[in-house]
Chains A and B, each alone.
Chain A
Amino acid sequence: MGDKPLILAVDHNRRNLELMSQLLSQESYETVTVGSLEEFDQVLNERTGIKLALVDIAGFDRSVWERCERLRAADIPFVIISPRQSAALSQMGLEYGARGVLIKPLTVKELLGVMRSLL
């Protein structure tokens, strides 16, 4: 499956993860999904070859930023998905190394566009 880029999707909401992986597999991406910080850590420790991460920060506490720093350290580009328009959150996300901040609800077209530009 080497030709399918591996995408890490992080979301506290299971249904969101389902929809996201549905969309990504339709678009011929390989997806690994993560619903909690523990899983997040596990994946960061064990998986390699992640090309891009999509991190929905809703439902996580501040420690999600530590994982973002790990992503940056591992040279994995990532996009923050924020539940609302907030300058402070966007600012923080970008400080921790995010390549961009997307506001929910996402439109499929926009999301795919952003992903393509980062891969």
Chain B
Amino acid sequence: MLQQRLSTGIVGLDEVLHGGFTPGRAYLVRGGPGTGKTTLGLHFLTAGSANGEKVLFITLGEPEAMIRQNAESLGFDLSGIAFLDLSPTPEFFAQVETYDIFSPAEVEREPTTRKIVEQVERLKPSRVFIDAMTQFRYLAADPYQYRKQVLSFLRFLVERDTTVLFTSEGSAEAPDADLQFLSDGIIHLEYAPEGRTLCVNKFRGSDFLSGRHAMRLGERGMEVFPRLMPEVYWREFALETISSGVPELDELLHGGLERGTVTIITGPSGVGKTTLGLQFMKKAAGRGERSVVYTFEEGVETLLARCEGINIPVRAMMERGTLSVVKVEPLRYTPDEFAHLVRREVEEEGARIVMLDSIAGYRLSLRGEDLVGHLHALSKYLANMGITTLLINEVEHITGEFRATEVGISYLADNIIFLRFLEMGGELHKAIGVLKKRVSDFEKSLREFQITRYGIKVGRPLTDLRGILSGTPELVGK
């Protein structure tokens, strides 16, 4: 039986939690200052109030007015949210005579507890957000009392079918291990130099997407980008071959490229790798299929102008929605965020061909570590979704001894197409060949490759040359 879930108000987080929170449970949000704990709580509450649920925000640190101000600047609608403000008032400071005869635990606990109980009994909220639970620590005589109080407080709420989200300011000085043990789930927020992350450490009674997920705190609050788990995604697709639209090229590839495969187009700078990729997209556009190019180095305008010059009508394709060219700004995205962009293209826009231009650009432009691993996951995902993936790989050497790729990514590829320069009779020529094709056989000979203003031209097999891979081929003597 499928459990009923409560949306967290954040699409990505719902996905990480396989649908959302389990109703009637208490969840802990922990993280250092400025990691977005309160923002997460606001999402949680506004998602409830938008549903017509009664929701309550219990604040023990930040005053209500300030929370409202911050929330409104992020575009939250707080009209449906009830507040219980237990933060200290300015009068408290002005009161010269503060007491010392009893400990705060003896004096403040009771009124605080009474206010909470009153408010909860009156409102009967279905969602409660407590910011921050660690404040209660100061109202308890000792750690045991604290633990008991928090537990019974949570039970008091949960017995009323309330779903509780509470925050903790866990640090080395004030550990919150006790809170972690007694919650039904833990969401850990972190702010590392390479970006913000969200990680679920515990989620009673359900599976969840493990690991660190990229998170962004922006103008509209919090966005979570679940780590790409390729094996989770799968869809039926016909194992058909897509043509390039150039008969000789199709011959070379024994029909074309298959759906659900990853192709690396490799070659030195200026040899025509991007153009070759776009050729497949041009043909696909003719069938009415959508393609996406992520360009990491080249500006969109240059790319467009270049394509127009060689008879690939990119502007018309973009107008018809059969092509999207996306410039990825350096260091703007983490790999998870980028994967999220790609997923949206695939799952919502229905793109069938995706090209990353180039692999080096991907590795340079995205923040974070283990980028080859992320690229692998992304390729795997695209393959599972039946997408024809084109990865552009630039080799540094213009001529000379042949090498396929330089960063140890050949293993990603189902197909490797290479382009290279040749010197023949003092002239620079280009050749195209196939190095690997997992699904079908392919032509083992190389062919001449030209980019003209009418488009790509592929010549006859260069069977009368030898030593092509050395870059300086010779005519086979007849």
Contact = CB atoms under 8 A, between A and B. Distances in A.
Interface stretch (A13-21, A36-44, A71-79, A89-97): A13-21
A104 interface: yes
Q: How large is the interface on A (under 10, 10 to 19, 20 to 34, 35 or more residues)?
A: 10 to 19
Interface string A51-73: 00000101000000000000000
A83 B101 CA distance: 8
A2 interface: no
A1 to B, nearest CB: 25
B106 interface: yes
Nearest to B98: A15
Contacts of A20: 101
B103 A107 contact: yes
Contacts of B95: 15
B102 interface: yes
A16 B98 CA distance: 8
Contact of A13 (B99, B103, B107, B141): B99
A14 B102 CA distance: 13
Nearest to A9: B101
B219 interface: no
Contacts, number: 41
Contacts of B207: none
Nearest to B99: A15
A18 B102 CA distance: 12
Contacts of A113: none
Interface residues of B, number: 11
Interface string A81-119: 101000000000000000000001111100000000000
Contact of A15 (B97, B103, B106, B141): B97
Contact of B102 (A58, A83, A106): A106
A9 to B, nearest CB: 9
B149 to A, nearest CB: 16
A78 to B, nearest CB: 16
Interface in B88-123: 95, 97-103, 106-107
A105 B106 contact: yes
A18 B98 CA distance: 11
A41 to B, nearest CB: 22
20 contacts: A11-B101, A13-B99, A15-B95, A16-B97, A16-B100, A18-B99, A19-B99, A19-B102, A19-B107, A23-B102, A83-B100, A104-B100, A105-B100, A105-B102, A106-B101, A106-B106, A107-B102, A107-B103, A107-B141, A108-B106
